[in-house]
Structure 1
């Protein structure tokens, strides 16, 4: 008879060695991250290396139970990172670049899978094994993507929107691959393939429809009630930041639970939750409660909306002469009240917006604990001691270069823009190349591009920065890019693999797909699995490192432009840097 489970866990004071190991682990995760972020905008690489050193692949200072807890908490950090990315979504840019994001995603999936069939020559893989390897390398790490964009300040730019949308699509397809590979030991039924796709489409289509048909009318009705009853308990409660926090968290948990039971990605649900909140903040009108009913009908006294920190709602407006004492509502008081009301309303929307709530309640614990745990948990899953076999090393490196190339191709989609989107011109691309000034070889020196914007004087006689005018262009018809930095940053960011790649490869290995014989039982990893792991690890390192170096170069060019041209001239990223 099995032993009955314990009624409670006896409390024991942790050993001092355990305390020192955990303390050094958490401190170094943050110290290394801060140092590398300052230098290369890729502190996550240091966190992965700390995970290797402290975990099972290295010194094994962390017990297996601790590693499992770190993995679970780290996945919470991944969910919140993706949720934050959804909160930063610009729907104007998302709608304008949906086709482009889809094209980038399809390219990033198809090319790595096609190139993975080279494993048939490298390692004698079967077509099924090559497909499984390509499925693992077709994903893009969402956690890495959002972290790199946040550290480089590109999350809300047009480039960031295209990148996050494409990475999200890649991971949805990666989830489908997991379902397929999980059922390779049995007959693959059509429902196995169709269900994740249909559920993902349902989230992408049905959720926006519900927002338009249910959420928006409900919000309008509630706004009408709040406008006519500004001092009721309901109105006061809805203005509290704690209420917004509870609603945002409830939405996030509900969508993740629904996605898990339905069979789609938890990360896709987390991104959808953040995007819904961003849509509600920016696309749905909110009441001017204080402006409509700044005077209490019953008492005839001016009042302001109540919040958990009223002083913070009206910066620059002393409350003594407006709120505290009873005043007759004359013409001057009405003007003061209207001015105060507009400030209160705008401050209220700012304090209860999605990014504000995330920054107040989530940001610290995610950035200091959960996010470092996630990237350290990636280090736990790298079998570093078994990867350095001569035949595996060179094959893994060759396969890595192929997989890097498979994602770098995605950057070509940003090279081809002209004033008429979708038209390709080799001459336009070649016109961006600056050849050396050798008249006897190339002919006369070329004149500056006529389409390059120039600074125009303003009323005060100062030159204006044309970057500001770029922001007002139609995002669906961008001008030609100034440099190749946007496609390079996009391509390198797509290179990073991570959680989905490890998941697909681990499932394929556990199901015997990578083994030479499914009936053979082996304690060691297969050569194909080790080669795939090499590619995932190196891509996860090279991608963020390349993005960090590119962003650093862009920052240097921006500073030089500001120093030499007093801020005039087009932004280095051009239209792709528009927020």
Structure 2
């Protein structure tokens, strides 16, 4: 893919037909593989990873290196948009209410893989302690991008026919969740715990790849303060009244109302681009993760309006984000991100002697080490039941016995995928330290890659079988807002970082 450079400009020329056909086949296979993976195993993201393996360095090396670098950069933009959307759509009230539970889940997800790694690699296979620690920390990660894509895919494909309104609590009252005709799993309690635990995992592992946790912590503390005392009052005073716009009830015809809404969507998009760019720059120059910056930017934007909905069925900023980025993000950038994971897998080095069986065993152990995170769900249910027996619980419409195995299984399975974060950490361990051997690197890559495949497959199977049950679950499913005027982001009330929307 060479081009002649003249003075001051790049010469325009007709691309080689081989290059054109290669790109056409690459994008065609991305789309077809995504569809096949979704229909066969319920995890569409596996298809692009396989295509990345075949077209990239690991196996076929069909794409030119410059193209692979370009697609990696474009895919990372897709990842940033995925995570920004996660922050934009997350329930801030549920995030605040369940922050302690998310911290516990994240702590289990970090410590258990390290402990299991030392038991298997250090005590059982006599790997060096520092090598074992590097492998364990790379398997502590949770792919936030994969997690959010799984929730989004589940939400877009869910169309439950079950009549939620027929379900009643033991005391005869209706449960505290809305009907689930088309469930957005990011609005469920278990989805909120899952996303926030994955974010905390990413932040807590920052020191391993040279990112000071202090920078991330300061961003997490300062963002709610800036939103509450600066950005939110300004937005509600100057932007929100204008962007809410006229309605047909105010005497304007539908065409003028539609034109006004389109203008408002453009303004919303520009605000999101500016805020996201600012957060990415701050995170990068402060030494924090840009992915964490993207998530904070989404939460920051979501906290600006007085209410989450601008009108019936219209959510502030979400419609504009979907309208202007949905096509490119869903059909181009997101598949390129997962294909770039395939580019980074050292496929040929994995098939050497004992590396194979150790890699498979380590994979299963690491899958278990993350699935154990789901134990926080039944434990929380038992604690709630104990408080209810003592008469301290306020939620009287909850069932008498905890029934949280389905949400617990979803939480554990969705934490299994390591993805881009795991590959990043283990490659830094190989290239920038003398402690990780090639054999240890290959064993770790086995676990990262297979877990990135196993996790989404398990989530797809779970959602097909028990998705409606999870969505209807009184404690862990879709929750009605106790009030539409208050949302909180930040701490659990103990660190003072709280943002209230009034």
Short-chain TM bin: 0.7 to 0.9
Equivalent pairs counted in the alignment come to 428
Distance 1:64 1:389 in 2: 26
Aligned residue number for residue 193 of structure 2: 162
The answer to whether structure 1 residue 204 and structure 2 residue 220 are counterparts is yes
The C-alpha deviation readout for 1:6-28, integer Å capped at 9, x for no partner, is: 64333332222221111111122
Distance 1:85 1:478 in 2: 30
266-275 vs 18-27, which deviates more? Answer: 18-27
Q: For 1:244-393, list aligned pairs within 5 A.
A: 244-281=268-305, 283=307, 346=311, 350=314, 353-393=316-356
**1:402 maps to 2:404:** no
User: Any gaps of 5 or more consecutive residues in structure 2?
Assistant: 156-184, 247-259, 480-502
1:490 maps to 2:418? no
Distance 1:391 1:226 in 2: 66
Unaligned runs of 5+ in 1: 180-194, 231-235, 287-344, 429-471, 517-525, 559-569
Cα–Cα, structure 1 residues 217 and 50, in superposed 2: closer, same or farther, change >3 Å?
same
The answer on whether the counterparts of 2:232 and 2:303 sit within 8 Å (CA) in structure 1 is no
What per-residue deviation string (whole Å, max 9, x for no partner) do you get for residues 89-121 of structure 1? Answer: 101111111111100000000111122223224
* 1:5 shift after superposition: 9.6
The TM-score with structure 2 as length reference comes to 0.79
Cα drift, residue 355 of structure 1 = 1.1
> Contact 2:377–2:404 at 8 Å: present in 1 too?
no
1:326-346 residue CA offsets vs partner (Å, 9 max, x unmatched): xxxxxxxxxxxxxxxxxxx73
Distance 2:366 2:123 in 1: 16
Q: Cα–Cα, structure 1 residues 387 and 136, in superposed 2: closer, same or farther, change >3 Å? A: same
C-alpha contact 1:70 1:377 (8 A) present in aligned 2: yes
Higher relative contact order (CA 8 A, sep 6+): 2
- CA shift at 1:124, angstroms? 3.4
| 1:540/1:224 CA distance change after superposition, 3 Å | closer
How far apart are 1:369 and its partner, in Å? 0.4
Output the CA distance in 2 between the equivalents of 1:104 and 1:531. Answer: 26
Structure-1 residue corresponding to 2:454: 542
Give 1:541 shift.
0.6
Q: 1:95–1:17: structure 2 CA closer, same or farther, 3 Å change rule?
A: same
What is the match of residue 552 of structure 1?
A: 464
| Distance in 2 separating the partners of 1:32 and 1:481 | 40
1:58-73 aligned within 5 A = 58-73=59-74
Q: Which residue of 1 aligns with 2:376?
A: 413
State the partner residue of 1:448: none
Distance 1:5 1:16 in 2: 23
- In structure 2, the CA distance between the partners of 1:257 and 1:237, relative to structure 1 (3 Å rule), is farther
Q: Is the 8 A contact 1:416 1:424 kept in 2?
A: no
Partner of 2:169: none
The whole-number CA distance in structure 2 between the counterparts of 1:549 and 1:415 is 21
Offset, 1:479: 6.5
Return closer, same or farther for 1:214/1:91 CA change in 2, 3 Å cut-off: same
Q: Is the 8 A contact 2:430 2:441 kept in 1?
A: yes
> 2:253 maps to which residue?
none
Distance of 2:396 and 2:66 partners within structure 1:
53
Could you tell me which residue of structure 2 aligns to residue 172 of structure 1? 203
User: Is 2:64 aligned against 1:33?
Assistant: no
395-404 or 261-270: which moved more? 395-404
Deviation at residue 125 of structure 1 after TM alignment: 2.2
Indicate the residue corresponding to 2:89 in structure 1. Answer: 88
Residues 362-393 of structure 1 show CA distances to partners (whole Å, capped at 9, x for unaligned) of: 11000000000000000011111111112100
Contact 1:238 1:244 in 2 (8 A): no
What CA distance in whole angstroms lies between the structure 1 residues aligned with 2:431 and 2:6? Answer: 30
In the superposition, relative to structure 1, how do residues 218 and 174 fare at CA in structure 2: closer, same or farther (>3 Å)?
same
Give, in whole Å, the separation in 2 of the partners of 1:224 and 1:511: 49
Whole-angstrom CA distance in 2 between matches of 1:510 and 1:577 = 44
Summarize the Cα distance change of 1:36–1:268 in structure 2 as closer, same or farther, 3 Å threshold: same
Q: Which residue of 2 aligns with 1:216?
A: 232
| Contact 2:75/2:338 (<8 A) preserved | yes
Equivalents in 1 of 2:242, 2:396: separation in Å? 36
Deviation per residue, 1:209-240 (Å, 9 max, x gap): 1111112322343379869x99xxxxx89962
User: 1 CA distance for matches of 2:423 and 2:399?
Assistant: 37
Change (3 A) 1:11 1:378: same
Deviation at 1:418, TM superposition (A): 3.4
Residue matched to 2:78:
77
Paired position in structure 2 for 1:56:
57
Mapped partners of 2:399, 2:114: distance in 1: 31
Shift in Å, 1:57: 0.8
* Structure 1 position 422, deviation (Å): 8.7
Structure 2: how far apart are the matches of 1:169 and 1:478? 30
Q: CA deviation at 1:243?
A: 1.1
Larger-gyration structure (1/2): 1
Contact 1:514 1:528 in 2 (8 A): no
Shift of 1:159: 1.1
From 142, 148, 162, the counterpart of 2:150: 148
